Structure 1
Amino acid sequence: MLRIDSNIIWTIVNLLILYACMMRFLFKPVRNILAKRKEEIDASFADVKKQKEQAQEYKDQAEKELQAIQANHDKEMADARIKASHEYEKILAEANAKSDEILEEARQKTAAVAREEKARAKSEIADLISEAAEKMSGSKADEQLYDEFLNDMK
């Protein structure tokens, strides 16, 4: 039969007591520390994930704002181009009207100068005709006087 010595029993009891003490005073606190550390790491990961999501939200919001600004800029540029086109057409119409006015004024001045020249030419022609008529009538008068003189002399 198996004989168990009391030393072996006390050794086993001591080992069990040592195991219980180590479990209570060493392994349990170490496990608690490891559990707390794991919780801290998990919380840190959760915080990082939350910050990453928040950063993505900020990025998305900034992109939306940038797109809105770009759309607004494009709209303002289109409006400015349309306004500039209208202004160009207005200035061009004013310039055409002004040039038409200047041309009409030049035509009127030219017509007035032509009328004046025509009237002066008519006046000069009338003066020349009347002078010629006077000379002719004067020469007829001279001829008549000469003829009368000759008739009187006979």
Structure 2
Amino acid sequence: MIEMDLGNIIAAMINFLILLFIAKRYLFKPVNKILNTRKQELDSSFEKARMDKEEANKLKIENGEKLKLAKKEGKEIVEIYKQKAEKMSSELIEDARQEATLIIERSRVEIEREAEKAQSEIKKQVIDLSLILSEKALEQHIDEKEHRRLIEDFISKVGS
């Protein structure tokens, strides 16, 4: 059986207390210091990560809003240019219509002028032919001025 000697027990206790003091002073304090430092570094890293995550979320929201705003501005710009293009198209079409109307009017006036000119030429030729015909028919020479007046009166009565 094991004998228990009070001297051994007291010596073991003193040895234990000395070992505990040495371990506490040279082992526990540095280890606790290292552990506390590491804990602070981890806490700091976690805090920084949390702040970075919050900042990233804030930037994500801001970027989403900026993207929406950019899309809206893009649509507005496209709509403005679309309206400008439609306006230009309408103006070009209206200008073309006005030009076509002007060309048609000029052509109509020119046609009327040509018709009047042709009628006048025909009238002159009819008078000349009538003069020649009447001279031959009467075998006499009537004053040309008088003859023209008579023929013009006749043509105006017939033409009306």
Measure how far apart 1:3 and its partner are: 5.8
Q: How does 1:33-44 map to 2 (within 5 A)?
A: 33-44=34-45
| 2:70 corresponds to | 69
Structure-1 separation of matches of 2:119 and 2:54:
95
| 2:146 corresponds to | none
Structure-1 separation of matches of 2:81 and 2:4:
109
Structure-2 separation of matches of 1:8 and 1:65:
79
1:114 alignment partner AA: A
| 1:89 corresponds to | 90
1:105 alignment partner AA: R
Measure how far apart 1:113 and its partner are: 0.4
Structure-1 separation of matches of 2:76 and 2:119:
63
Q: Provide Cα deviations, 1:36-75, integer angstroms capped at 9, x if missing partner.
A: 1011111011112212221222222222222211111110
Structure-2 separation of matches of 1:52 and 1:5:
64
Bigger Cα Rg? 1
2:26 alignment partner AA: F
Structure-2 separation of matches of 1:27 and 1:122:
139
Count of paired positions: 138
Measure how far apart 1:136 and its partner are: 0.8
Q: How does 1:61-140 map to 2 (within 5 A)?
A: 61-138=62-139
Aligned-pair Cα RMSD in Å: 1.6
Find runs of 4+ consecutive structure 1 residues off by over 2 angstroms: 2-5
**Taking structure 1 as the reference length, what is the TM-score of the superposition?**
0.82
Give the stretch that moved more between structures: 16-25 or 106-115. Answer: 16-25
| Greater RCO, CA 8 A, separation 6+ | 2
Q: Provide Cα deviations, 1:10-43, integer angstroms capped at 9, x if missing partner.
A: 1121112211321232112212210210111110
Percent sequence identity is: 28
Q: Provide Cα deviations, 1:57-95, integer angstroms capped at 9, x if missing partner.
A: 222222222221111111011011011101100110000
Give the stretch that moved more between structures: 80-89 or 31-40. Answer: 31-40
Give the gaps of 5 or more residues in structure 1. 140-154
